[in-house]
Amino acid sequence: MKKVVFTDLDGTLLDSFSYSYCQALEAINLLRNKEIPIVFCSTKTRAEQEAYREELNIKDPFIVENGGAIFIPLAYFPFVFNHHKTTKDYLVIELGIPSQKVRETLKKVENEIGCYITGFGDMNVEEIAKDSGLNLKFAALAKQREYDETFKIENTQEKIEATLNKIEEAGLTYTHGGKYYDAMGGNDKGKATKILIELFRRKFGKIETIGIGDSQNDISMLKAVDVPVLVQKPDNRWEEVNLTNIYKVEGEGSQGWARAINELIGG
């Protein structure tokens, strides 16, 4: 039975602070040697994910910006399927609205509530790098958002809660991953994962899907797969999730990721 791996990036395949994947390299090579697809499913942009895909020589489909869109390399699936647009390299299935519309909504909320919303679209590359800890290369790639907006709110807790409520009233959803929030409209990691699972079934027949994550933001993806996996957070705890079949592995970031692959797939 063909296996397919869906994985979050930050705090999962990539370490939380260094963004390193070094401890996962042998496990990645194991999957490549077994021709097991590795599907990124992350809040990161297409540009960010393409950089990691090139470094790791991964050529499988990937899900960007919290399920904003699925990018499928041309001729990857040997059949016709519904998609929204074609680029030079990909067939694209879009679930989210354009990031510019998200930003316009955030600005309206900011004016109505009287808070300070600072998005990546408001910051230059140097400011994003300094604030996030990303190097200049990846700060520039993180700024290239297409289907959501990463932002922070500077105000009292009461104003922050009012702002988040107003964002939802305006028809957007949001996630919170520590320092930053991500606002979006229509993005759905779980839905995007299910769409790709059906395409993989059409290609391979019976499959077993593994999903690896570390946070609340990954739950919809984990619910969509056969084997949901959690790696530890930097404080050595696991995220609280309401999944009876969750598989917990020791180790944070790429260390936990590698352990999960070795335990579930092995040599």
Residues 79, 120: Cα–Cα separation, whole Å: 38
Residues 196, 72: Cα–Cα separation, whole Å: 9
Is pLDDT above 90 for 78?
A: yes
The pLDDT value given to residue 156 = 84
8 is catalytic: yes
Write down the residue that tokens 């619910």 correspond to: 223
Q: Residues 28-39: what's their mean pLDDT?
A: 96
The pLDDT value given to residue 178 = 66
Q: How confident is the model at residue 101 (pLDDT cuts 50, 70, 90)?
A: very high
Q: State the DSSP code for 82.
A: -
Q: Residues 203-226: what's their mean pLDDT?
A: 95
Is pLDDT above 70 for 34?
A: yes
Are the CB atoms for 4 and 197 separated by under 8 Å? yes
The pLDDT value given to residue 204 = 97
Cα Rg, the chain, nearest whole Å: 18
Determine the topology of domain 2-96+188-264 in CATH: Rossmann fold (3.40.50)
Q: Please state, rounded to an integer, the average pLDDT across all residues of the chain.
A: 95
Q: Does domain 99-180 correspond to CATH entry 3.30.980.20?
A: yes
Domain ranges of the chain: 2-96+188-264, 99-180
Of the segments 146-160, 166-180, 201-215, which one has the largest average pLDDT value?
201-215
Q: Pick the catalytic residue: 8, 10, 15, 188?
A: 8
This model's pTM is above 0.85: yes
